[in-house]
Amino acid sequence: MPRPEHKEITLTIDGRDVPAIDGQILVDAARGGDIEIPVFCYEPKIGGPVGACRMCLVEIEGISKLQTACSTPVKDGMVVHTQTDRVKGAQQSVVEFLLVNHPLDCPVCDKGGECPLQDISYGYGGGKSRFIEPKRHFVKPLGLSPLIAIDRERCILCYRCVRFSQEVSEDHQLVLLERGASTFVATFDGHPYVAPFSGNIIELCPVGALTSRAYRFRARPWDIEGSGSVCNLCPAQCNVTFTVRDDRVLRVLSRDHDGVDDGWLCDKGRFAYQATHSDERITAPLVRDGDQLRPATWERAIQVASGIARHSGAAAAIVGGETTNEEGLLLGRYLRDTLASHDIDSRQGGALSAGVLRELARTDLQATVPDLEFAHTVLLLDADPVDDAPILDLRIRKGARRNGAQVLVASGRPTALDARAAVAVRHAPGSAASLVLALDAALSGDQGSASSHATDAGSDLEAINALAEALKAGGEDVVIVWGERVTDGAGGEAAAKALVNISATLGLGTREGSGLLELPRGTNGRGLREVGAIPTAGPGLSNPVAVGRSTDEIAAAAAAGDVTALWFLHADPTRDGRNTETWTRAMASAGLVIAHASTLSPELAAHATVVFPAEAGAERDGTITHPDGRIQRLRKAIGSPVDVRPAAAIIARIAEVGSGVDLGPTAGPAGTAAVSAAVSFYAGLNVDEIGGRGLRWQDRDAATNLPAGDVNGESAAPVPAASPNGALRLGTYRSIWASPEVELSPALKFLSRRPTVELSPIDAERIGVTQGQNVDVGTGADVLRATAHLRSDVPAGSIFVESGLAAPGNLPSEGQLIEVNKA
């Protein structure tokens, strides 16, 4: 559904002319005219008005009864009064009623000082209560979940939390039980409210009924400061405010940004700040001493690391998703310009040519986050937003629920949005490339080619034709959300070209509100490519002097002795579950292994030569680039522990000590200026322009500097999906909870993942396992023991093993056959 058109009108509120948009809700229109109408239940982010709290009663000329401003659309010439005695009387009445059963325990309530009920009682109440009867009592506080405490006596039954659960996150867990004054918020079966987005209800609650168990009693509003930044835990890059007290992060709140997060946060983003202050975090440089890593002085650590200068031509870097644009640019420069190596990669699944990357980055093909809400059709290609970029899951649901957007899914693993999907097509794990080729052929009417690609994808032609039909029939505005894994492996380049072709067939480039949106694996996946932290392109996606090795090739080369120094910038490839065995050998045989990390995996502990402590998210400065091209600023909210230094400064210092080169500015506005000088289409961008809300480079004039793409190069065909034949096709997935931050945060500890394998009930029966039993994946020395999780929508013949765990096991790559036995 295209964005609605706006008609400007004028209404009169309290004798003042207020400009507004026809049909706008009166509360919002009044706010635009600087007139406050108090509300509790009204929250347009959740959905339509419910008119429950009655706080917003106003007088409208021509209507005898007082009206709720939260449910009244404005019309031209409407005359509204918010300050008459009648309105004030109603407001005082509602406040008095709300406080009848409210305990008024503000002095011991976490919300005190930042409480809408408190504010409105002061602002609009009568200042006294005539209520002398006993109040309603509940047992309190209770854990609504391990993250949220509920105090039902404080609840004013505004319905916000229940509506969030029912209409935004659609987990349908929260309900109201009983009725009248005995009504209370609960889960239907009394089970804890555990869901990926549950923490949002804490922020929605206008009283102290729902409080964060991690934040309870840690601070009062006058003890704290808010510090705006961006969450760097996943590519969704939600805007956040860190609540800081005494240089510690105590809480994370949403910093509502319509272009990014729509005002929501996932529970990882909200609670994983605790990892910042974990005792297990590395806070001093470590240097290898025999078979141990021992704390060392900075001088010593830099000395050891600067030994990389001796590995000229044989050094390689893996750049993790958390790396900022500034850090990525700096390391790429040092490697390419000084160490004569082109082996730097920030992607995991193999390299795409610079020409194809530029084609995919075309400004006209780029969809934005709000486009998800207004598109006619959203197609997910081997991506599950709830795990890959959680907040986008809510945006897609919003589009489907409010605007009737058609959701289509083509993926290996069943997605959380399948239930919303008009068509859901499965392909074999790791065969997304073939599926994209098949869809391209089907859209172009080449049934023969579509059929053979469909077979290669382990899917069937009929399903792909249905998908193509739905895409064509659903309306012009199409957003294709594709996971980075679509371009993994041999057929990656071909899949990328097919994506470009599909976009052309559907005319995505010709319409505002249509386009492609990639979900990269790393937080700053897009920015790292654009600053040249990939083997196939220099800064600005320019053609490189020479093409270097990709991640998997670096592992193989290092294991074979061709690469002798490894630099892991915020990366630990042994934790990704890909080629763990090769990586272990590579690290063992490399002469120098430099890592920047907060925690040590067993492999890093065994093989790293020097480990620099990494800054936590709230300690970082720099820029990152959102998947839709929005460049955002990370801003330092707290000081780092004394021995933790910015990675960019470390890189520069190593270059200086080891090679005697000056890499230029590393941090602050000058560091960002260096990025915009290096990336042609960021040209002229500075931190002031980025500001607190960021901006999309596609919206700036410099966007035209993006060099033309090239899709005419040769590309290999994808490997056909293996035929199961008794064994099972291996797929992997990384859950939102599979991250070191979750393991290190006490509040989230209960969500940290153990090895799990998802399989279909058919295969489970054949193997003889039931839900929750252990299975052995693989054979021989590399067997991984995991808990079986039966999912009826996993297609028979495929299994999905959770990756990103602390002990990932050694699995072959996606799509290969693997034996699964009952443990």
Residues in contact with another protein by CB under 8 A are 49-55, 57, 65-66, 68, 71, 89-90, 93-94, 96-98, 100-101, 130-134, 136-139, 142, 156-157, 159, 175-176, 178-184, 186, 190
Return d(Cα 527, Cα 540) in angstroms, integer: 10
| Backbone phi, psi, residue 534, to 5° | -140, 155
Smallest gap from residue 155 Cβ to another protein (A): 11
Return d(Cα 781, Cα 764) in angstroms, integer: 23
Helices (H), 476-524: 492-506
Smallest gap from residue 93 Cβ to another protein (A): 4
Q: How far is CA 481 from the centre of its chain?
A: 13
Count of beta carbons in the 10 Å neighbourhood of residue 342: 21
User: Residue 71 or 241: which CB sits closer to another protein?
Assistant: 71
Smallest gap from residue 154 Cβ to another protein (A): 14
Burial class (CB in 10 A: 0-12, 13-18, 19+), 587: buried
Smallest gap from residue 688 Cβ to another protein (A): 45
User: Residue 181 or 473: which CB sits closer to another protein?
Assistant: 181
Residue 139, CA distances (Å) to 56, 152, 433, 730, 758 in order: 31, 8, 56, 49, 39
Smallest gap from residue 181 Cβ to another protein (A): 4
699 residue type, one letter: D
Smallest gap from residue 94 Cβ to another protein (A): 5
User: Residue 206 or 613: which CB sits closer to another protein?
Assistant: 206
Smallest gap from residue 199 Cβ to another protein (A): 22
325-333 helix and 647-654 helix, angle to the nearest 10 degrees: 10
Smallest gap from residue 3 Cβ to another protein (A): 23
Count of beta carbons in the 10 Å neighbourhood of residue 353: 22
User: Residue 66 or 233: which CB sits closer to another protein?
Assistant: 66
Q: What is the DSSP string of 513-549?
A: T-EEEEE-SSTTHHHHHHTT-BTTBBGGGBPPSS---
Q: Judge whether 612 and 606 are in contact, CB under 8 Å.
A: no
72 residue type, one letter: T
User: Residue 167 or 782: which CB sits closer to another protein?
Assistant: 167
User: Residue 190 or 290: which CB sits closer to another protein?
Assistant: 190
Smallest gap from residue 69 Cβ to another protein (A): 12
Smallest gap from residue 121 Cβ to another protein (A): 13
Nearest to 306 by CA among 283, 328, 285, 290: 285
Q: Pairing mode, if any, of strands 784-790 and 774-777?
A: antiparallel
Return d(Cα 571, Cα 804) in angstroms, integer: 12
DSSP-assigned beta bridge partners for residue 571: none
Smallest gap from residue 326 Cβ to another protein (A): 51
Return d(Cα 501, Cα 360) in angstroms, integer: 10
Place of tokens 């706008």: 24
User: Residue 94 or 592: which CB sits closer to another protein?
Assistant: 94
User: Residue 12 or 71: which CB sits closer to another protein?
Assistant: 71
User: Residue 100 or 490: which CB sits closer to another protein?
Assistant: 100
User: Residue 160 or 362: which CB sits closer to another protein?
Assistant: 160
User: Residue 175 or 661: which CB sits closer to another protein?
Assistant: 175
Smallest gap from residue 41 Cβ to another protein (A): 9
Q: Pairing mode, if any, of strands 820-822 and 774-777?
A: antiparallel
Return d(Cα 532, Cα 679) in angstroms, integer: 9
Count of beta carbons in the 10 Å neighbourhood of residue 817: 16
SS3 295: strand
Return d(Cα 622, Cα 667) in angstroms, integer: 7
User: Residue 52 or 806: which CB sits closer to another protein?
Assistant: 52
User: Residue 137 or 822: which CB sits closer to another protein?
Assistant: 137
User: Residue 90 or 344: which CB sits closer to another protein?
Assistant: 90
Return d(Cα 605, Cα 611) in angstroms, integer: 9
Nearest to 633 by CA among 228, 330, 319: 228
Return d(Cα 71, Cα 1) in angstroms, integer: 23
User: Residue 101 or 601: which CB sits closer to another protein?
Assistant: 101
Which residues, at least 6 apart from 332, have a Cβ–Cβ distance to it below 8 Å?
317, 344, 531, 532, 533, 538, 539
The sign of the dihedral angle between the CA atoms of 125, 127, 131, 137 is: positive
Give the number of residues written for the chain: 823
User: Residue 57 or 786: which CB sits closer to another protein?
Assistant: 57
Smallest gap from residue 67 Cβ to another protein (A): 11
Smallest gap from residue 119 Cβ to another protein (A): 17
Smallest gap from residue 128 Cβ to another protein (A): 12
Smallest gap from residue 44 Cβ to another protein (A): 14
Helices (H), 306-389: 325-333, 354-360, 371-374, 385-388
Q: Which helix (H) or strand (E) holds 432?
A: helix 432-444
Residue 424, CA distances (Å) to 378, 382, 417 in order: 12, 11, 9
User: Residue 100 or 419: which CB sits closer to another protein?
Assistant: 100
User: Residue 40 or 334: which CB sits closer to another protein?
Assistant: 40
Place of tokens 């229109």: 29
Burial class (CB in 10 A: 0-12, 13-18, 19+), 85: exposed
Q: Judge whether 520 and 379 are in contact, CB under 8 Å.
A: no
> Tokens representing 155?
């609840």
Q: What is the DSSP string of 15-51?
A: TEEEEEETT-BHHHHHHHTT-----SS--TTT-S---
Q: Judge whether 82 and 30 are in contact, CB under 8 Å.
A: yes
Smallest gap from residue 208 Cβ to another protein (A): 18
Smallest gap from residue 104 Cβ to another protein (A): 14
